[in-house]
Amino acid sequence: MTNAPMRRDAAHNRQRIVDVARQLVDDDLPLQLNDVARLAGVGVATVYRHFPTPEALMETVATPGLEALITHAQRALTEEDPWKALTGFLHVTLEAQLTDPSLTAVRAAPRRVLPRTEELTAMLDSLAGQLLERTSAAGAVRDVVTWDDLLPLMCGIAFAANVHADDQQTRLASGRRYLEVVLQGLHS
């Protein structure tokens, strides 16, 4: 069974919904589907038809960020220096988490509701794991650390930077400092 292409007006409404959701997320406001409908100028049923839950909408908002991180991880795997590749990827990941709240929300969620999000997060975790394994094989990182260890640490760094700073620049500076502490502990 194939899905028919979306009508132009339906695609336009869907994009308006996503744009409104993006703004709400960026403004640190909750994604309540009734509010999204009102702000997007569409009926509540239209929002629910496209996004049955706030989680589905949040995951849709996060998709471009996840795709960008995957692209960066793929490029990092082609770098010659494994340590530089890993640290560069982690710095980009942290900056993305601190500038796109949807990424942290999706990565910290206990489960994914959209198959595409599950696919993207699995791919991102696989690539990040490869980066870490490659760095470990080169002797540049302690063997006891896995991506399953590092992922919650990255979420924790983003959380700490967000909690302890009021503005974007301070959050980024704090997050970079916290990441450097973790990287010093990883480096062998």
116 and 25, same structural domain? Answer: no
CA 64 remoteness from chain centre? 9
Confidence (pLDDT) at 88: 97
63 and 32, same structural domain? Answer: no
Confidence (pLDDT) at 3: 63
Confidence (pLDDT) at 2: 46
180 and 164, same structural domain? Answer: yes
| Structural domain boundaries enclosing 11 | 1-52
Confidence (pLDDT) at 180: 96
With contact defined as beta carbons under 8 Å apart, do 163 and 178 qualify?
Answer: no
164 and 90, same structural domain? Answer: yes
Confidence (pLDDT) at 1: 42
| Residue spans of the chain under pLDDT 50 | 1-2
Is the pTM higher than 0.85?
Answer: yes
87 and 141, same structural domain? Answer: yes
121 and 31, same structural domain? Answer: no
Confidence (pLDDT) at 108: 86
75 and 142, same structural domain? Answer: yes
Confidence (pLDDT) at 166: 82
Number of domains observed in the structure of the chain: 2
